[in-house]
Structure 1
Amino acid sequence: MGVDAAVAELPELAAGRRRPSQPFGIYVHVPFCAVRCGYCDFNTYTPAELGGANPDGWLSALRTELRLAAAHLGEPPDVQTVFVGGGTPSLLGAAGLTAVLDAIREDFTLAPGAEVTTESNPESTSPRFFDGLRRAGYTRVSLGMQSTAPHVLAALDRVHSPGRALDAAREAREAGFDHVNLDLIYGTPGETDDDLVRSASSAVEAGVDHVSAYALIVEDGTALARRVRRGEMPAPDDDVLARRYELLDRRLADAGFDWYEVSNWSRPGGQCRHNIGYWDGGEWWGAGPGAHGYVDSVRWWNVKHPNAYAAASDKGELPVADFEALDEPTAHIEDVMLRVRLRTGLPAAALSAPERRRAERAVADGLLRTDGDALVLTDRGRLLADAVVRDLLG
């Protein structure tokens, strides 16, 4: 397998923010998975695809990138949030994830009360694993649940048993985690309305304070896309997806969860602060193979393959594949696209005069509502969020 190589030198970055009130975060990408799920197009690698790369080499390269990152920032701001994603971070075990957090602390300062999250696959967790995370300083766990229906998990090529994610959530709570998220996927071929409602009810009953739910998307190049193309499985139906979203929203609302972003619900105080930073104009350093970062209106992305990532580290170079400096019009487009998805809404003052006129039409059409000086998606508007954004931007 060929690997990409570092091709770009990241420009000098300022530690100052486009929005000074927003927090600074660090995202760490763990590229390892035991198996590849049929719907996944993330930058992940199974043992057969790694070409000699291994977690120890990845961790060494990560330490180098974080050291270079701190130097590149000059005066790194305190880190308000950390998110370790993947891939399957829990394959590192509690000791490996402790080492990741220790590596961050070597060159950055975690702010008091920092939110520290790791994603985990239920099959690679245990009570001892969660105890180790708590001792290391993790404050939040996000577990891939997808569904409690065996035939849905089979269609998604998920390897965990239907009840394992729920047991893992309870184990995390018993270990002292106040903030536990379960991820759901809805609209899988073969799923019924009742399957989704039962999955949502099970998540609620597991005592979590956060649920993320995403419509199944058939991504090009995935095993799922090949099955759909061969006619072995139907593509997700838009009308079905809309109905499932409404069912899910109603079930979670009945249990005391409020939506705070189109695909995320939480109990009071359970919002993911790191992800809010993405949607609300915050800045973050993305570390690890294929990770994206954004500081001082510059977005960059790292080389993807772990071997290329390690090669850049061996040379003492930031593993940047390429970058773009966002001009004001592009930054505005992204601002509208992301902030309109939040329940806090998009400030009307952030829009141009033509955009405000289009927003007034969206209000008249029942897609947006006004909340003080903000424009907020209605229930119907959430189902058509992408179309609302297109209309606003003209």
Structure 2
Amino acid sequence: MSLFNVYPLFNITPVSAKDVYVYDENNTEYLDLYGGHAVISIGHSHPTYVAAITNQVQKIGFYSNAVQNPLQIKLADKLTRLSGCQDYQLFLCNSGAEANENALKLASFHTNKSKILSFHNSFHGRTSAAVAATDNPKIVAPINAQQKVDFVALGDLEVVETILKEDKTCAVIIECIQGVGGLDESTTEFYQGLSTLCKTYNTVLIADEVQAGFGRTGDFFSFQKHKITPDIISIAKGMGNGFPIGGILIHPTIKASFGLLGTTFGGNHLACVASLAVLEVLVEEKLMQNSRMISEYFKEKSIEIFQIKNIKGRGLMLGLEFDFPIAELRKKLIHTHHIFTGSAKNPNVLRILPPLTVTKKHIDHFFEALKEELK
């Protein structure tokens, strides 16, 4: 049986990894400045993480959500303390797309409305409503296109209000820093205005923190810079450092009832201990502080390269924008210099999403390689 060929693959086969490095079958060392799509938050094979999963699987790895699982409560409590999101409720699932699906479904239940408002260059997942709310027609199948979604330019409150006034929109879903779209973000005035409009017109505000959450931007969540209170917060990626886990944080104004949401694998024992280990390391190694510090250093180094037209993003969710497509540059970085980086919907943006354990010496190595390729 062959694999369903939907991924264009680099001819690299990783067999092991440690902290910010990945090693192939020839023991070639690669500097990982992409973190497997921002998934690796505390570094590959972190000993605290490995020990937590190993210890748990020797006891019990999985049972259904029909029984008590105290690890879920422990995770919810620790998330509350570290994120500062008081009084929210946690529903656990397996991925970012599933988190956004549940967020949108819950918004529709809560408001009894069916339309979605999303933003140009958004990315929220590849399933049902999540992909319909993603601004990329190439990945929206006809069955997904039945969803009713309005796309608005990021920052345009006037058009948002015009749509919400129709009283058909159940949810506004937004990445406060767009990931796949190319690291665009708007102003605090816009995000606060958006929050006000959602409250005015009985619309659920969903903050998609799947990529930006868990300390990547230097804050626990990217929306916190703007001092807003979303109704639902979706999380995944860096939440599990590679173990599949996602979830939504739900404001207490939205009430639960039996059967409203459900999942087979979500919140399993291994997923919970993986995420608990991530939170432990985030605190013990001060990785949010490191994210802010390394971000400033990265931006200082970026100024030295005149070909860089714009530095986008915050913390260790960064983009370098050039006035040419970066596809060939990215290939040279990986094949010649053994450095993983990422691309974006904007073809001129090179995405940088390293483990939050990255240090100045790794950033120096990257800029030396970049200078060599751009000279």
Q: What's the TM-score, normalizing by structure 1?
A: 0.28
Name the structure with the higher strand share: 1
Q: What's the TM-score, normalizing by structure 2?
A: 0.29
